[in-house]
Structure 1
Amino acid sequence: MGAVRTDKPLIALLIGFTMLTLSVLGAVWLTERQEEAAGLVRHTLEVEKRLADAASLIQEAETGQRGYILTGRTEFLKPYDLARAQLDGDIAEIQRLLNDNAAQAPRIARFRTLANRRLAYLRENLTRFQAGTPAAQLADRLDDGRQVMEELRALMVDLRAEEERLLAARTEQLRMEGLRLRIALAISGLAVVALGAFAFVDGRRRLRGALEAAAALEVANANLKIEGESREAAEAQVRQFQKMQAIGQLTGGIAHDFNNMLAIVIGSLDLAKRRLSKDVAKAEACIDSALEGAGRAAQLTARLLAFSRLQPLEPRVLDVNKLVGGMSELLRRTIGENLRVETVLAGGLWRTFADPAQLENAIVNLCVNARDAMPEGGRLTIETSNAHLDDAYAAAHQEVHPGQYVMISVSDTGTGMPPEVVERAFEPFYTTKGVGRGTGLGLSQVHGFVKQSHGHVKIYSEAGVGTTIKIYLPRNTGELDATDGQPRPVGELPHGKPEEIILVVEDDERVRHLSVDALRELGYTVVQASDAAQALTVLALQPRVDLLFTDVVMPDLDGRRLADKARAERPGLKVLYTTGYTRNAIVHNGMLDADVAFIAKPFTIEQVAMKVRQVLDS
């Protein structure tokens, strides 16, 4: 490595500014010293003034008393009365001012004693005179007072002499401090001029250097632009490769799982067809197997839509504690009995706004993952609490808005996950489980549902210790749904009545025939249309229609606009939408519109029976 280049002009400039700073600080310090010296001078002058005032009070009191004794006129006693009232306080103030001078302290104490004695002599003479003693007989006390007064004058001379000495010394100190201050200011001024000149010269030198560097930078930028264009092209190729790789992983996973499920469906139906005439029981078993495979395929599609945040949600205001508390039987059937399940439900839990079925499904997915992480048993804990995600947390996590949330966590004491697995845990078809033990869509489905519900999900895991996955759903202050916590109906399927007429609108002929057959099987009278135009014609001719059962995605006019036109003609018409993939016609921001009844394709006869009956009875 080459030697580090030293910027000598910059160092010189910094040294100059340091010296200027020191000189300015020195000037400030000298200013404070000068102010202190001036204060001491004022202090000395104040002491001298108060000493003179005290001596004057005593002198005037003595003169006034003598005038009173000679003339008997009471106005001569005013200086005496003033001295009695004021002298002691004045001397106390002088003592306070002289506390900083040890040499003056005994003098002012003696001065106070003599002043009080002199006033005592004056008071005694005044009392005797007022009692009738002739003035000639007061001479002995007048002589004592005169001696005290002479001693006071001598003491006053000593006090003032010391103060004069201090005044001269302090005045000289004040003069020297002023001189030093002027010198410091002069040095500071010279430093400012020198630094300004140096900075100007150095600035011009640096400007020339900057212009030369700018020219060199322009050339470098041109070269960098050429290099950047080539790098951008290379990065675009890498991004395209990564995109294709991700699509390949996704399509490969879909193809693998769908082929397995189609193999079950096709093989089972083929066997059922062969056995139908020979062995009805075995044929029914094959049909059940086909239905199971088709159901798994429908579930896979639902999970892919959840991951893509495209599944239609039917949210409502939820009490999560009630939902979790009602899942005990479902969890027991799902995860078995070799795990110890604990629930910790927070008191005063806030409400949230989410699809209860999808939230329940997300919790089950997390519990299944926890079960698989504890093959030899362990403890699974489901916990709820109120949480606040602050600005700092939101800044550190993508798509998180600060605010109040309802938190649901699922914790296990299983094998845990290393950091590299945590980073990829939400990717579709990514799984660390063995072949046949998982599709790799469980966590991606949870992630998609939570994000579609404007929430946040976070994994905390340590290999060999366990895993905690926390779901945060935004707090909602609305009222609970009246049907919250109501048990799902069981038993026989609800059937319709022949006088209940349903119009089925579906552009796919086979799906339409299937829907019509299912509804007729349930006892309804059914009319059908292959598109919106034909449906409007049927509505114009048919005197009564109780329910419009329409596909959403159709050519020309979609199901939502068809329903709007139909309701314009028949305001009380009830509508049930169905589709395998929702567009913005009935779903906005991932949520079904408030007035929408919906059933997702594919559906079973049981599902359509329940939904149609619910809409007709609403």
Structure 2
Amino acid sequence: MPSRDLLSLRQQVEALQQQNALLQARLASHQQHDQNFYRSLFDTMDEGFCIIEFFDGPHGPLSDYVHVLANAAYAKHAGIPNVVGQKLREMVPDEADDWVARYGAVLRTGEPLHFEQELVATGHVLSVTTFRVEPAEKRQVAVLFKDVTERRRAELALQRLNEELEERVNAAVAERAKAEEALRQAQKMEAVGQLTGGIAHDFNNLLGGILGAQELMRQRLGQSRFDSLEPLLELSSGSAQRASSLVHRLLAFSRQQTLQPCSTQVATLVCGMEELLRRTIGPAITLASHFPRQLWPTFIDPPQLESALLNVCINARDAMPAGGVIDIHGDNLLLDDEQARALELPAGEYVRLSIIDNGNGMSTEVAERAVDPFFTTKPMGQGTGLGLSMTYGFVRQSGGQLRVLSTLGKGTRIELLLPRHHEHPEAPAPMPPRTLPDKSSTATQRILLVEDQAALRVVVCEVLEELGYLVNAFENGPAALAHLQHGERPDLLLSDIGLPGGLNGRQLAERCRERHPDLKVLFITGYDESAALSDGQLLQGTQVLTKPFELQVLAERVGMLLED
């Protein structure tokens, strides 16, 4: 029995050994298969992969590393073949410190790292992900990377395209702003052109009064009737003042400087324009204005509103060739949500300025196109079609709305709805009492006078000398500068802005300031005050007096500057 049991056990052991050998063979086959499979994946993957192992080198502990494993894509992306076994400082000695610092930080901290790097050798950009191989004692770091050169190029190309597009947009916006400014100026000059006929008529009347009064004064002087001179002088002076007011209005409409909105009382603005409007529309049309005492202020650019009002009145005049009536109304208006929505406005408080005429009116089709740019019903050459369109754009930019209500054969009502402003316009500062300087205080003060108009130069020089000033008068800037080189230092430069001889008034003042930096300057000009600006600013210690001016005002301004 024992022998049989022993034999059976041996047979079982042999069977087990055979099964074990078969299993080991199968396991080895599977392992080889898996190893081949994973190796195939490792070598065929598109991303580059390597494992580096740090060691202590001549530059210090962990100052170099060697590549212990790398796939085929490593050579493809990095451009370095047969990298396994190669040391970093032998491969790229100039870049070694940067790579050691970057991968060394991953080895020390165990924190993975992702970055993009352009390779100097190939110019390719790699997106790199790196992590420590555990345990840390192995001193190994795994590096996985892929080539993103095309993506980076696409990004740079897109960035350049965006920059170019932004430049083009900026240029287009600037060109559009320039075109809009040209259109505004064209519309403004069209309004000035419309003024010409009425202004010429009024100037002839005013000049007739001035010349007639002067002729009568000569006769009275010849007759020694001195007591009758004063009324004639008043008549002549009044006509000249009205002519001056008209010229200043024309300058206000034709100027090109940037305008700014401010708190504005519309009733005051319209009242100040009534004389100009009446002269523009002519005597055949009656003009009337009606405003409540408590009209709200609005925040708007006054000269642009004046220009808009003038253009609307010109359109009304053209619609009444046989004469008629223009009524200008102002009222306060509260719009609820439904009313405001119909007008494409926020609900709230508005000032409504209405210009009503009893002229030809417009059909529904014409009224709907009235604010279209360049749309006009006037004959060729008699209008640009910019008036209402520019007024519409200006009102919309100011937060308001323009409405055209018209009935063919009965007349037109233009409504400008402007948002209420809660700050009241600043009241004009009171004029200080007029005082003339004492001759005893002016006897040693020198004035350099530069004016190319001989008549005005003589008058100004005589007035200043009567006040006790020492005056040196010249026709142009070069002559004044030549005197300045050898003459005594002046206390004040009094100069026109538009001068012959190659130097205008601003340039002359700057040249004088080079020799005398604290020299006071008073400009006199036939343009508006903007003619004296340099880069939008007046020179320090400078004032402007517009022609024509009263001689007493000139004396006061000179005295004030010299006292300061």
TM range (shorter): 0.3 to 0.5
Taking structure 1 as the reference length, the TM-score comes to 0.38
Q: Higher strand proportion, which one?
A: 2
Between 1 and 2, higher relative CO (CA 8 Å, sep ≥ 6) is seen in 1
State the structure with more CA Rg.
Answer: 1
Taking structure 2 as the reference length, the TM-score comes to 0.41
Q: Higher helix proportion, which one?
A: 1
